[in-house]
């Protein structure tokens, strides 16, 4: 018997549960499903799933409350799967500790990719000071020397620009909210706003992208934040 990763599907729409179960089983995941928030919380604590797919609109509890609760005691990757596509909802879910956000209707290939990324990162999430080198396509970061290379050519970044690139690389494949990036780079009580971040991002793109208007490394998630594309996926 193979040790398949367990996906907990938290969803009250039976048709979607059925669809997800079929797709996930076909992709070699073991599936557990629950239809309420109360069951979700007890299932996460008793079954320790490897990843949670979470619908926000449940009958007994808002999915946002589930994220808030679970993040107090578990780091299990949570991918929100929701029909709500307002930026405010995405930002709230991500800031509370959701790992990713997929809007319904979703493409199954994209959902499977997001699950693979979430699983990969949950197993490698380490301490905050990285060491060694990380490569993503043509982009390489040497964490020890704090240097960035594109196609083996060194890119000269300011301290702030370096921190932003490093942060997106450490969370490769995940969307990072503006607020998260600002707090991580400028500290817990930042005096800068999204506009300063956008200016820095424009400068980074001018330096690392072949075409800054069509970025291949750090893309914009409109109204939400930025994501480093994972070229290994
Ligand atoms: Ca629902």
- Of 42, 28, 27, 32, which Cα lies nearest the Cα of 10? 32
Which domain CATH number covers 71? 3.40.50.2300
Residue 225 has pLDDT above 90, yes or no: yes
CATH number for the domain that contains residue 212: 1.10.10.10
Distance, first Cα to last Cα, the chain: 27
Q: 55 CA to middle of ligand 1, Å?
A: 6
| Whether residues 20 and 93 fall in one domain | yes
Beta strand pairing status for 78-82 and 51-54? Answer: parallel
| Ligand 1 centroid, distance to 78 Cα (angstroms) | 16
> For residues 204 and 165, is the Cβ–Cβ distance under 8 A?
yes
Cα(56) to centroid(ligand 1), Å = 6
Residue 185: name the closest of 197, 171, 173 by CA.
Answer: 197
Rounded Cα gap, residues 38 and 126, in angstroms: 30
In angstroms, rounded to a whole number, what is the distance separating the alpha carbons of residues 149 and 217?
Answer: 13
Q: How confident is the model at residue 121 (pLDDT cuts 50, 70, 90)?
A: confident
CA atoms within 13 A on the CB side of 188: 0
CA of 48 relative to ligand 1 center, distance in Å: 22
Distance CA 80, CA 57 (A): 11
pLDDT value, residue 150: 97
Is residue 24 domain-shared with residue 114, that is, in the same domain? yes
| Per-residue model confidence as pLDDT tens digits over 180-224 | 898 888 876 677 788 899 999 999 999 999 999 999 999 999 999
Does 33 score more than 90 pLDDT?
A: yes
Q: How far away, in angstroms, is 117 Cα from ligand 1 center?
A: 24
Q: Transcribe the chain into DSSP letters.
A: ---PPEEEEE-S-HHHHHHHHHHHHHTT-EEEEESSHHHHHHHHHHH--SEEEE-SB-SSSBHHHHHHHHTTT----EEEEES---HHHHHHHHHTT--EEEESS--HHHHHHHHHHHHHHHHH---SS--SEEEETTEEEETTTTEEEETTEEE---HHHHHHHHHHHHTTTSEEEHHHHHHHHH-SS----HHHHHHHHHHHHHHH-SSTTS-SSEEEETTTEEEE--TT-
In a domain, 233, yes or no: no
**Mean pLDDT over the full length of the chain:** 90
Q: What's the confidence (pLDDT) of residue 188? A: 64
Whether the per-residue pLDDT at 120 is higher than 90: the answer is no
138 and 35, same domain (yes or no): no
The rounded Å distance from CA 12 to ligand 1 centre is: 5
Answer whether residue 70 shows pLDDT above 70: yes
In the predicted structure, residue 59 carries a pLDDT above the cut 80: yes
The arithmetic mean of pLDDT across residues 17-21, rounded, is 96
Q: Report how far ligand 1's centroid is from the alpha carbon of 120 (Å).
A: 27
The rounded Å distance from CA 186 to ligand 1 centre is 37
Going by C-alpha positions, the residue among 97, 128, 102 that lies closest to residue 115 is 102
Q: How far is the CA of 39 from the centre of ligand 1 (A)?
A: 14
| Mean predicted confidence (pLDDT) in 16-44 | 96
Give the model's confidence band at 67: pLDDT under 50 very low, under 70 low, under 90 confident, else very high: very high
- Give the number of domains in the chain: 2
Question: What residue numbers bound the domain in which 57 lies?
Answer: 6-120
Does the residue 128 lie in any domain?
Answer: no
Among 65, 90, 120, the domain-final residue is: 120
The CA distance from 110 to 100, in Å, is 12
CA 66 / ligand 1 centre spacing (Å):
14
Q: What angle do CA 31, 79, 68 make, to 5 degrees?
A: 110
At 125-184, the pLDDT tens digits run: 444 567 889 999 999 999 988 999 999 999 999 988 999 999 999 999 999 999 889 888
């Amino acid at each position: 018997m193979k040790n398949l990763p367990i996906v907990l599907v938290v969803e009250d729409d039976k048709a979607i549960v059925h669809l997800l179960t079929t797709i996930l089983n076909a992709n070699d995941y073991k599936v557990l499903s629950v239809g309420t928030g109360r069951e979700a919380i007890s299932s996460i604590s008793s079954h320790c799933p490897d990843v949670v797919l979470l619908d926000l609109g449940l009958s007994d509890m808002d999915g946002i409350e589930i994220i808030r609760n679970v993040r107090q005691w578990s780091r299990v990757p949570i991918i929100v799967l929701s029909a709500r596509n307002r930026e405010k909802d995405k930002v709230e879910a991500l800031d509370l500790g959701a790992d990713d956000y997929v809007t319904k209707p979703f493409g199954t290939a994209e959902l499977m990719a997001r699950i693979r990324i979430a699983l990969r990162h949950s197993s490698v999430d380490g301490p905050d000071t990285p060491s060694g080198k990380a490569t993503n396509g043509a982009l390489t970061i040497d964490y020890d020397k704090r240097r960035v290379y594109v196609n083996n050519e060194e890119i000269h970044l300011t301290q702030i620009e370096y921190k932003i690139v490093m942060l997106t690389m450490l969370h490769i494949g995940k969307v990072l909210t503006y607020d998260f990036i600002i707090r991580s780079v400028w500290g817990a009580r930042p005096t800068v706003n999204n506009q300063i971040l956008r200016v820095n991002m424009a400068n980074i793109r001018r330096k690392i992208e072949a075409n800054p208007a069509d970025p291949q490394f750090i893309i914009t998630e409109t109204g939400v934040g930025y994501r480093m594309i994972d070229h290994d996926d």
